[in-house]
Amino acid sequence: MSERPRLTVLSGPSGVGKSTVVAHMRKMHPEVWLSVSATTRHPRPGEKNGVQYHFVDNDEFDKLVANGELLEWAEFAGNRYGTPRAAVQEKLERGEPVLLEIDLQGARQVRESMPEAQLVFLAPPSWDELVRRLTGRGTESQDVIEKRLAAAKIELAAEPEFDTTLVNTSVEQVAAELLALLGVA
């Protein structure tokens, strides 16, 4: 009997570098499949529907929830985000690894529904560096940055709930560590 296919969750505070690390990893290994979440957040400049996210309005998101189409979902800093269930199930049924990049509330839901999943926490080298990265990205208003930093304090305190912690000092190094955890490299 083959080993059960693995679902990996990558979580960590807003601005720590999750998307940057995953993008670097997929540049080296395009075969790594990342779930595309649905969100009610407005696209940032350069973001395309169906690529970074499926951008939906509140009614569409309500329908996804009501129809049981989301594996998990959460409200984060004023917007809702959720993982479409069907694509994840299809990949796992084919025996292919699955990567989710989601917040702490979503990670906790996955732990409940799929205890075999591995939960990876991406931590910043320091609090000041996290603030620098989130602010320096320049994509959020000061009000939203403050909401995200308030959430970050809760997320950092939850680090012991995760199976593994990776510290994002070097994008290249942490991408290699994540690949190893995915069983790709």
Ligand X SMILES: Nc1ncnc2c1ncn2[C@@H]1O[C@H](COP(=O)(O)OP(=O)(O)OP(=O)(O)O)[C@@H](O)[C@H]1O
Footprint on this chain of ligand LQESDW3C (rule: CB under 6 A): 14, 18, 37, 41, 72-74, 76, 81-83, 101-103, 105-106
| Candidate residues 6, 91, 137, 147; the one interacting with ligand X per rule CB under 6 A | 137
Which of the ranges 48-56, 62-70, 80-88, 167-175 carries the binding residues for ligand X, by CB under 6 A? Answer: 167-175
* DSSP state letters, 148-162: HHHHHHHHHHTGGGS
Nearer to ligand LQESDW3C, 81 or 177 (CB): 81
Distance CA 21, CA 58 (A): 29
Q: Are 98 and 4 contacting, i.e. CB atoms less than 8 angstroms apart?
A: no
Q: Does the footprint of ligand X cover residue 124 (CB under 6 A)?
A: no
Helix (H) or strand (E) holding 123: strand 118-123
Q: Does the footprint of ligand X cover residue 17 (CB under 6 A)?
A: yes
> Helices marked H in the chain — which ranges?
18-28, 58-66, 85-93, 104-113, 127-137, 142-157, 171-182
To the nearest 10 degrees (0 to 180), the angle between helices 142-157 and 127-137 is 150
Minimum CB–partner distance for residue 171 and ligand X (Å) = 4
| Candidate residues 7, 9, 11, 14; the one interacting with ligand X per rule CB under 6 A | 14
DSSP-assigned beta bridge partners for residue 10: 101, 120
Residues at the annotated binding site for ATP?
Answer: 12-19
Q: Are 40 and 65 contacting, i.e. CB atoms less than 8 angstroms apart?
A: no
Mapped onto helix, strand or coil, the DSSP state of residue 78 is coil
| Candidate residues 43, 78, 95, 136; the one interacting with ligand X per rule CB under 6 A | 136
Minimum CB–partner distance for residue 10 and ligand X (Å) = 9
Nearer to ligand LQESDW3C, 122 or 177 (CB): 122
Size of the site for ligand X (CB under 6 A): 14
Residues that bind ligand X (CB under 6 A): 14-20, 133, 136-137, 168-171
